């Protein structure tokens, strides 16, 4: 299937990549088998090696892409004209929705980082150049607002951790959260909206005087 690929049928190469993403996200590196990826893509596993040479190689491509995606989700751009608390609220909700749309993503990255220091290096390279600038900008805005007395003065990195903790954990622990939701007679999707409001409220309470 080469250049009669005129329409939008996906190529073997793409099918393998898509299957690899799904498998790695679901199972992690160790539990994913190249044969499993090939089966999911509907091709022989020799094709996987033909296009991507090794499992490690294919994984690293997936990992880089996913790490970039996750890291990118933190630098949310919010309309600068809104009041500060409105901006924070929007940022939390946007981030929450992103994780909701990619619930496996944080655990996948965290896991692979913990299990292989080399993967942490990849993330460091991605985060390193951006982080100080982002943090400084947030802190600057916080300090300006605090000086006006509209919010409490908090550390930017603590605030960031608060938000990410609240948003990520809910989805990372989804199976357990479902048990909790069931015990109060709600299903997960009902619970989801309530949780988004709660996360926003927690941060609002932290910031307002």
Closest contact distance (angstroms) between CB of 21 and DNA is: 15
Long-range contacts of 50-57 (CB under 8 A, 24+ apart): 51/12, 51/13, 51/16, 52/16, 52/20
Instruction: Map the footprint of its own copies across residues 37-76, applying CB under 8 A.
Output: none
Number of H helices, E strands in the chain: 11, 0
With contact defined as beta carbons under 8 Å apart, do 99 and 105 qualify?
Answer: yes
Name which of 108, 123, 85, 114 is nearest 208 in CA terms: 85
d(CA 69, CA 134): 17
Closest contact distance (angstroms) between CB of 53 and DNA is: 6
Instruction: Map the footprint of DNA across residues 1-30, applying CB under 7 A.
Output: 1-4, 11-13
Closest contact distance (angstroms) between CB of 133 and its own copies is: 10
Residues of this chain that bind its own copies (CB under 8 A): 26-31, 104, 107, 110-111, 113-115, 120, 123-124, 127-128, 131-132, 135, 155, 157-158, 160-162, 164-166, 168-170, 172-177, 179-180, 183-184, 194-195, 198, 201-202, 205-206
Residues of this chain that bind DNA (CB under 7 A): 1-4, 11-13, 32-35, 43-47, 49-50, 53-56
């Amino acid at each position: 299937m080469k250049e009669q690929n005129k329409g939008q049928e996906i190529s073997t190469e793409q099918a393998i990549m898509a299957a690899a993403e799904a498998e790695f996200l679901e199972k992690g590196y160790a539990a994913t088998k190249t044969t499993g990826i090939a089966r999911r893509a509907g091709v022989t596993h020799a094709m996987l090696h033909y296009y991507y040479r090794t499992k490690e190689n294919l994984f690293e491509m997936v990992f880089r892409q996913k790490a970039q995606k996750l890291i990118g989700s933190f630098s949310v751009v919010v309309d600068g004209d809104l009041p500060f608390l409105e901006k924070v609220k929007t940022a939390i909700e946007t981030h929450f929705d992103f994780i909701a749309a990619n619930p496996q993503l944080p655990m996948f990255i965290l896991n692979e980082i913990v299990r292989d220091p080399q993967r942490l290096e990849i993330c460091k390279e991605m985060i390193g150049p951006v982080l100080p600038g982002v943090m400084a900008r947030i802190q600057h805005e916080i300090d300006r607002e605090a000086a006006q007395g509209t919010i409490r003065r908090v550390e930017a990195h603590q605030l960031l951790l608060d938000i990410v903790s609240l948003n990520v954990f809910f989805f990372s622990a989804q199976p357990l959260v479902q048990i909790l939701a069931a015990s109060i007679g709600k299903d997960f999707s009902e619970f989801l909206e309530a949780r988004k409001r709660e996360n926003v409220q927690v941060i609002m309470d932290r910031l307002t005087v």
